[in-house]
Amino acid sequence: MLNVLIVSVAYNPPTTILKNLEADYYPHLVIDNSEQETVWLKEYCLLHDHIYQWMGDNVGIAKALNVGASYAMQHGFDYIVTMDQDSELTNQLLQELTSFIIDYGVCNDVAIFSPRHKIGNNSIEYNLAIEDNILLPMTSGNFVNLKIWYKLLGFDENLFIDAVDIDYYAKAKISGYRILTLNYVVMPHCMGTHSGVMWIFKYGFDVWNHSALRKYYIMRNYNYICKKYLSKLPELYFFKKIIIKMPISVVLFEKGKFKKLYYLLQGYIDFRLGVMGKKKW
């Protein structure tokens, strides 16, 4: 066994989050980012010896994870497992990742050990490969090496939400650390807004139907990480293509076009002006 704390970030959480909290391979810390304290979740945590902390407002995923990581370091943990409420956590997944980390040995060069994420009904190739690729992992199920987290100064709170994980992976990669994804350890993740891929000639457009506010953060933050890292990490051009395609996808395939286009434009303007953190409308 490793010395690990599971840090789950909740926001107006559905009761399905309780299934993740039943995974008892490691202890849990729940960071509640809701505007109002989630009383039923707090009571559940008290009954099941989980740690519950309400942030008093939505402070963003990056700050919530930093609070969880700081708590873990102060209490002698070596890793946190970062969890999103839309992913499915099991003891088997934790055990498989733990076994790999123990067998890996000295982990001074690995910032993240991640499962392979299966989004909705999308098919993925099951294999035994271990890949060092910053484009593969997502936040959920990541074993974060806390010594490296501390050296990297944590997650970037400028981002608030969206691209927090990619920014951290890029920062770790540039600093000489590895981001390992175990393709044979699969974590289901629900992204309920995805409507599929629409094609115009040879060009595919992922249609996510995110809210206008979410479009704002994606536009602003993807530009932010491309500016910070693209010259050193050419693979991040993937996000540049998303930036280019988003307005086209909204115009051709999504509802609420005018509001979403306005928020996309505002996201780009704020990026150019250096306006970061939580957007105050």
Report in angstroms the alpha-carbon separations of 74 from 3, 5, 6, 64, 156. 13, 12, 15, 16, 20
Any idea what DSSP says for residue 55? -
pLDDT at 238 over 60: yes
At residue 252, the pLDDT reads 86
Mean pLDDT computed over 53-72: 98
* All residues at 6 or more sequence positions from 59 whose CB lies less than 8 Å from its CB, including other chains: 33, 278
Report the percentage of the chain scoring pLDDT > 90: 81
pLDDT at 133 over 90: yes
Alpha-carbon gap, residue 9 to 32, rounded angstroms: 6
Tokens at 96, concatenated: 């498989």
pLDDT at 123 over 70: no
**Minimum mean pLDDT among 76-80, 83-87, 137-141, 199-203: which range?**
199-203
pLDDT at 16 over 60: yes
pLDDT at 194 over 70: no
Residue type, 143: F
Per-residue confidence at 153, pLDDT binned at 50, 70, 90?
Answer: very high
Q: Within its chain, how far is the Cα of 129 from the centroid?
A: 22
pLDDT tens, residue by residue, 164-186:
999 999 999 999 999 999 999 99
Considering the domain delimited by 4-189, tell me its CATH architecture.
Alpha-Beta Complex (3.90)
Per-residue confidence at 1, pLDDT binned at 50, 70, 90?
Answer: confident
pLDDT at 234 over 70: yes
The residues pairing with 30 across neighbouring beta strands, listed in sequence order, are 8, 52
Residue type, 28: H
At residue 128, the pLDDT reads 81
* 191, 214 Cβ separation under 8 angstroms: no
Residue appearing with tokens 């509001």: 259
Residue type, 26: Y
The residues pairing with 199 across neighbouring beta strands, listed in sequence order, are 204
Residue appearing with tokens 């304290």: 37
Residue appearing with tokens 């206008």: 212
Q: C-alpha angle 252/256/262, rounded to 5°?
A: 90
Q: Within its chain, how far is the Cα of 142 from the centroid?
A: 9
Q: Within its chain, how far is the Cα of 125 from the centroid?
A: 21
Mean pLDDT computed over 190-217: 74
Report the percentage of the chain scoring pLDDT > 70: 91
Mean pLDDT computed over 83-95: 95
Tokens at 281, concatenated: 């409308």
Whole-number mean pLDDT of the chain? 93
Q: Are strands 51-54 and 28-32 parallel, antiparallel or unpaired?
A: parallel
Return the beta strands (E) in 18-104 as ranges: 28-32, 51-54, 79-84
Any idea what DSSP says for residue 237? H
Domain boundaries, the chain: 4-189, 196-273
pLDDT at 251 over 90: no
Whether the model pTM is above 0.95 = no
pLDDT at 47 over 80: yes
* 212, 256 Cβ separation under 8 angstroms: yes
